[in-house]
């Protein structure tokens, strides 16, 4: 059953989320880069030739890979000096943090002025890695947190619309119920996936994408110090 072990929604996550975030990281990364919640450093190979240093931070109790991290610690108490890094990567981490405001302020502390934070987080997405799944953020909520920490929002990108998000829910639900059930519905799911991808391509309603996306990513710039 190896063919069916990779669910149909995974390729959509790769295309409509991971690859978009990867391109933003390639575009904006420079100097010293801090990857908060680095895991196995999936973006390092993309930028290693254009940066000065790549520092991975992972929590000591994380369920993800920790062997590649230079720092084992907490994102709200980063053992780096003030104004030390030029770029920070924070992808699929903020929803798992109890005090997001403190973390963004700590990131701002270790970042140089005009430094860039690339951040990605789920919006309409099932609970995962429970019990450490605390929050979902709208554009307005994340903007509020960013301004509190001394950041200016350069861009917000909703990575999917209603139909991709809907298909994702259906696929995740059925795959979570049973692999045999997933195999049974696989032909129908494949047709639904094709239809949803087609509608996503022709759907130009930006407001609908903001309201119905399964993930966002944003690019923030540090514009002033926060005490």
**Domain-by-domain residue ranges, the chain?**
7-161+212-222
Q: Give me the pLDDT at residue 226, please.
A: 66
Q: Give me the pLDDT at residue 3, please.
A: 55
Mean pLDDT of 100-127: 96
- pLDDT of 28 higher than 70: yes
- pLDDT of 5 higher than 80: no
- pLDDT of 126 higher than 60: yes
- pLDDT of 1 higher than 70: no
Average pLDDT, the chain: 92
- pLDDT of 52 higher than 70: yes
- pLDDT of 204 higher than 90: no
- Contacts (Cβ under 8 Å, ≥6 apart) of 91: 21, 37, 118, 119, 120, 217
Torsion of CA 144, 28, 17, 127, to 10 degrees: -40
Cα 158 to chain center, whole Å? 11
Of 208 and 28, which is predicted with more confidence?
28
Q: Give me the pLDDT at residue 227, please.
A: 60
Residue among 123, 112, 133 nearest 17 (CA): 123
* Interval 140-154: pLDDT, tens: 999 999 999 999 999
Q: What is the pTM of this model?
A: 0.91
Integer Rg of the chain from CA: 18
* Interval 55-80: pLDDT, tens: 999 988 788 877 888 999 999 999 99
Mean pLDDT of 14-24: 93
Residue among 185, 162, 166 nearest 175 (CA): 185
Residue among 204, 181, 200, 203 nearest 192 (CA): 200
For CA atoms 175, 41, 86, 49, the dihedral sign is negative
Distance of alpha carbon 85 from alpha carbon 15, whole angstroms: 29
User: Could you give the angle at the alpha carbon of 131 between the alpha carbons of 125 and 133, nearest 5°?
Assistant: 35
Mean pLDDT of 118-143: 94
- Indicate the CATH number of 7-161+212-222 among 3.40.50.150, 3.40.50.9100, 1.10.565.10, 3.40.640.10: 3.40.50.150
Of 1 and 8, which is predicted with more confidence?
8
Q: Give me the pLDDT at residue 60, please.
A: 80
Mean pLDDT of 163-191: 94
pLDDT band at 16 (very low <50, low <70, confident <90, very high): confident
Using a pLDDT cut of 90, give the percent of the chain over it.
81
């Amino acid at each position: 059953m190896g063919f069916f072990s990779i669910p149909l929604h995974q390729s959509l996550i790769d295309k409509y989320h991971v690859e978009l975030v990867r391109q933003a990281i390639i575009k904006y990364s420079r100097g010293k880069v801090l990857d908060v919640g680095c895991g196995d450093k999936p973006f390092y190979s993309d930028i290693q030739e254009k940066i000065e240093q790549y520092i991975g931070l992972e929590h000591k109790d994380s369920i993800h890979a920790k062997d590649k991290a230079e720092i084992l610690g907490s994102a709200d108490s980063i053992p780096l000096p003030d104004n030390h890094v030029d770029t920070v990567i924070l992808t699929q981490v903020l929803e798992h943090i109890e005090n997001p405001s403190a973390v963004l302020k700590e990131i701002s502390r270790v970042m140089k002025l005009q430094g860039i934070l690339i951040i990605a987080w789920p919006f309409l997405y099932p609970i995962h890695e429970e019990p450490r799944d605390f929050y979902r953020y709208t554009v307005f909520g994340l903007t509020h947190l960013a301004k509190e920490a001394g950041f200016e929002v350069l861009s917000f990108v909703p990575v999917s619309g209603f139909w991709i998000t809907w298909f994702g829910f259906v696929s995740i639900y059925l795959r979570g119920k049973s692999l045999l059930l997933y195999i049974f519905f696989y032909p129908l799911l494949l047709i639904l996936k094709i239809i949803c991808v087609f509608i996503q391509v022709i759907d130009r309603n930006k407001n609908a994408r903001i309201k119905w996306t399964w993930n966002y990513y944003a690019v923030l710039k540090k514009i002033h110090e926060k005490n």
